[in-house]
Chain A
Amino acid sequence: MLRLERVRLQLGNFTLSHVSLKVGQGEYLVLVGPTGTGKTVLLETIAGLHHPCSGQIFLKGMDVTHMPAEKRHLGVVYQDYALFPHLTVFDNIAFGLKLKKKGTREISRTVSKMAQFLDIRTILKRRPRLLSGGERQRVALARALVLDPHMLLLDEPLSALDRLTRDRLRGELKRIHSELGVSILHITHDLSEAFFLADRLIVMKNGAIIQEGNPEAILKRPKDRFVAELLGIENFIPARLGAGGQLFLKGLGPGDPPVFSASPTETEKAICLIVPNWAIQLFPDKNNSDAYLAMFPMTITGLERAQGHMKIHLKHTGGERLRTTLSWREMNELPTNPALGQEIPVGLNRKGIHWVPAD
């Protein structure tokens, strides 16, 4: 559907460097990255609002690199919806249809159909200023979808909404995607949104794509510490791969060698263990020590209560600090109630751990 080949763009001090990506027919692609990383610029470049210095953009096999925005048939929805304040909801949705010089009757029929699909029939006569965030979002989606675009480009479409509305609209986006089969490129910095919606995930940093794949694969094997941090992983243990493939955990004592199938070129180097919260197990089963990379005692230094879970801060005598998250059910299954200052045995579950070269 959409293919970018080494697209480069210079916009003031910002550079989009040789971005290549593909969005398949009917695919839901989510692009994640921290604020200021060029996600919006990339989306606007695809939409035809900025023109690349080099590289090519193909849409349905056709080179659209130099095609003006109005000819590309791409629906764009912005974070703040960008509804036309001087027009009613009906006229906002009908804007593109009127430009296409459709007849009044056809416009009215198409708009009502879309309004029904997105459940906004009752607000068609209102002005955008008087709508709630969720309603505005639906109107913006309707305005883009009513033109039957080749693709939807969503720029942080849910981040200005309260949590409840956000959750509801997230489901709505999934429904739109599955019912209309439209290809979607969605950019966000919200990971739960990304994991909920994405068929495929792309991670961006400083104007460049650094990893892509399906969400589970990226979560399992983040390419580097930056991607892991972006995915919400909080524990990074500095370590060293020994010549014989042993693993030395700095600050936590030697681990059980060999932990990873390290090739000779990968020995004797500093690495970083990426440890998701769930891989840190309190009171590990000593009879099943093979499941663990290492076991050691740690002291509880903090307990953070949250909705549905408890976050536990741990400190090793060697200085290393780790964090883990336990659901209330897991909390109840612990042999003792964790208390501040308490020393408890901790195991690093092999399954969840992955290593990357140290920065």
Chain B
Amino acid sequence: MRPYLVGRPFKAVFFAASALLVILIAVPLLRMITSTDPGALVSTMAEREVMSSIFLTLRSAFWATIACLVLGIPLAYLLARTDFPGKSLVQGLVDLPVMIPHTAAGIALLMVFGRASFVGKTLGAMGLSFVGTEAGISLAMAYVSIPFLVNAARDGFLGVDPKLERVARTLGASPRQAFFRVSLPLAWRPILSGAIMMWARGISEFGAVIILAYHPMTAPILIWERFQAYGLKYAKPVAVLLILICLVIFALLRWLAEPRKEA
């Protein structure tokens, strides 16, 4: 056997498995895109309701991600670096939103932030309402997608050798300076990757959002509503448009988060 043939069957199996999976993901999307009349797509783009709902979706998920970056990075760092009583419970709680049905998550949020609850009333008195508002959409998106960010950031910090932080301290850095000059810059790629995943998951959220804020209508709810009211023909162009916009944005972000080869 010639040397380059060694391992060929192994690689072939892996290629076949990968190809099958990629096809499984791509074909339904391609089918949907190709079966949509370009004319219908253009006229959908001209609809104010559609475009504003897509932008509302992107925007709410974006703010949810930013808010969770501020709160999630400290939690991720603590989970990576310290041992404390109840750590596994906290870790389990962080993972929980991935597992529970998102409609259930929406109901749980409604119980706390709804107009009838104490928190909802208090915040409402301060002018901050989470039911039927953009803030509510962001809250529902954040609740169900936070595990993606926290877990990625925690893994990112775990990948930073604690010795580097210690050396920074001996070189005169306070714990805060060591964090901002060493740990965070070394973990930013996994954190960015987690933030992208969180944003993406937020955009796609339907169950929790519909319970907390049916209006203003996000794209997933608009698609569902059009499908219910007018059928597939009217729902499809909105779906295709959302897919195309997300595809461009996420390809770009993934490219940004990829490690570059140094000269």
Contact = CB atoms under 8 A, between A and B. Distances in A.
B169 A70 contact: yes
B186 A76 contact: no
Contact of A49 (B166, B185, B186, B262): B166
A354 interface: no
Contacts of A44: 166
Interface string A89-127: 000000110011000000000000000000000000001
A76 B170 contact: yes
A147 B171 contact: yes
A86 B170 contact: no
Given A69-B170, A99-B171, A147-B171, A80 B186 contact: no
Nearest to A95: B171
Contact of B172 (A82, A99, A130): A99
A144 B169 CA distance: 12
Contact of B169 (A49, A143, A147): A49
Contact of B177 (A72, A76, A78, A99): A99
Nearest to A126: B262
Nearest to B174: A70
B188 to A, nearest CB: 9
A47 interface: yes
A69 B231 CA distance: 67
Contacts of B170: 47-49, 69-70, 72, 74-76, 144
Contacts of B177: 70, 99
Contacts of A86: 185-186
Interface residues of B, number: 18
A85 interface: yes
Contact of B167 (A82, A99, A100, A127): A82
Contacts, number: 64
Contacts of A58: none
Contacts of A75: 170
Interface residues of A, number: 28
A159 to B, nearest CB: 15
B163 A80 contact: yes
Contact of B164 (A47, A84, A100, A129): A84
A78 B186 contact: no
Indicate the member of A44, A80, A85, A144 with the most B CB atoms within 10 Å.
A85
B173 interface: yes
Interface centre among B166, B167, B170, B181 (most CB of A within 10 A): B170
Given A49-B169, A95-B171, A96-B172, A127 B164 contact: no
A70 B262 CA distance: 32
Contacts of A84: 164, 167-168, 182, 186
Given A99-B177, A127-B262, A82 B171 contact: no
B258 interface: no
Contacts of A147: 171-172
Given A82-B161, A82-B163, A96 B169 contact: no
A80 B164 CA distance: 10
B172 A100 contact: yes
Nearest to A79: B163
Contacts of B166: 44, 47, 49, 69, 76, 82
Contacts of B164: 82, 84
Nearest to A50: B166
Nearest to A93: B171
Contacts of B182: 84
A325 B174 CA distance: 53
13 contacts: A48-B169, A49-B170, A69-B170, A70-B172, A70-B177, A72-B170, A74-B170, A76-B170, A78-B167, A84-B167, A85-B186, A95-B171, A96-B173
Interface of B: 161, 163-164, 166-174, 177, 181-182, 185-186, 262
By Cβ-Cβ distance, the 10 closest A-B pairs, closest first, are: A96-B171, A69-B169, A76-B170, A82-B163, A99-B172, A82-B167, A96-B172, A70-B172, A49-B166, A86-B185
Given A69-B170, A85-B186, 20 more contacts: A44-B166, A49-B169, A49-B170, A68-B169, A68-B174, A75-B170, A76-B166, A76-B167, A78-B167, A82-B161, A84-B186, A86-B185, A86-B186, A95-B171, A99-B172, A99-B177, A100-B172, A127-B262, A130-B262, A144-B170
